[in-house]
Amino acid sequence: MLSTLFVRYRGFAFGPAASLGYDGDLDDWPVNETDLEAIINSNDSLTKEYVEGLQTTQKGFHTIELLLFGENNNKTAADFEPRKLDLLKVLTSTFQQSATDLAKSWTEGVEGNPPYREVLATAGDSDNPAYPTVDAAVEEIVQGILGCLDEVANEKKLANR
């Protein structure tokens, strides 16, 4: 399920994902495991505001995945201590909000910005500051695809050796 969500998200990992800061909140990697353990072992109140203030390497898809499945997909039911479950609940709630806001940025627009699908569809129009040419829009999409492929092929592959 998370893999499917990741693939669907990566299709939108440009435009507002980058310019409005959703990418880091949803998909920063690698997980800062040392600081994550410090959070789990702390007495800090695990609230939405607390999680929103964390570094991007302490939240998002990969942190949720680590908490759910462990480092080698070896997690058991006994590993789900109350504190980790509480953190997981807040992380998934803030993740859902960021993903919802990203989707909304494409369809409705957020923070006074027009819907990004309109920005992309009007690439090359004289009044489009994001994409002065159609080639500029295509290049951003292609560079995003290349960046994703490079990340999976080089960084994550090496980390899983």
CATH number, domain containing residue 52: 1.20.1420.20
Mean pLDDT of 84-92: 96
Q: Which residue is associated with the tokens 């399920």?
A: 1
Domain region containing 67: 2-159
Output DSSP code: residue 127: T
Please give the Cα distance from 90 to 75 (Å, whole number): 20
Distance, first Cα to last Cα, the chain: 24
Q: Which residue has the higher pLDDT, 161 or 93?
A: 93
- Both tokens assigned to 35: 């600081």
* pLDDT for the residue 158: 54
Tell me what pLDDT residue 138 has: 92
Q: What tokens were used for 130? A: 């994001």
Q: What is the rounded distance in angstroms from the CA atom of residue 9 to the CA atom of residue 113?
A: 20
Q: What average pLDDT does the segment 72-95 reach? A: 92
10 Å Cβ neighbour count for 128? Answer: 18
- Going by C-alpha positions, the residue among 101, 123, 133 that lies closest to residue 20 is 101
Predicted pLDDT at 37: 95
Do 64 and 2 meet the contact criterion of CB atoms below 8 Å apart? yes
How many structural domains compose the chain? 1
The pLDDT tens digits for 118-129 are 999 999 999 999
* pLDDT tens, position by position, 9-68: 455 577 888 888 888 889 888 899 999 999 999 999 999 999 999 999 999 989 999 999
Predicted confidence (pLDDT) per residue in 130-158, tens digit:
999 999 999 988 888 887 788 777 765 55
- What's the token pair of residue 13? 């990992």
- For residues 6 and 79, what is the distance between their CA atoms, to the nearest angstrom? 24
Q: What is the pLDDT of residue 115?
A: 95
Query: Taking 50 as the threshold, does the pLDDT of residue 116 lie above it?
Result: yes
Judged against a pLDDT cut of 70, whether residue 2 lies above it is answered with: no
Average pLDDT over residues 81-86: 94
One DSSP character per residue, 87-144 reads HHHHHHHHHHHHHHHHHHHHHT-STTPPPHHHHHHTTT-TT-SS-SSHHHHHHHHHHH
Are 22 and 59 in contact by the 8 Å Cβ rule? The answer is no
Asked whether residue 89 carries a pLDDT value surpassing 90, the answer given is yes
| Reported confidence tier of residue 6, pLDDT bands at 50, 70, 90 | very low
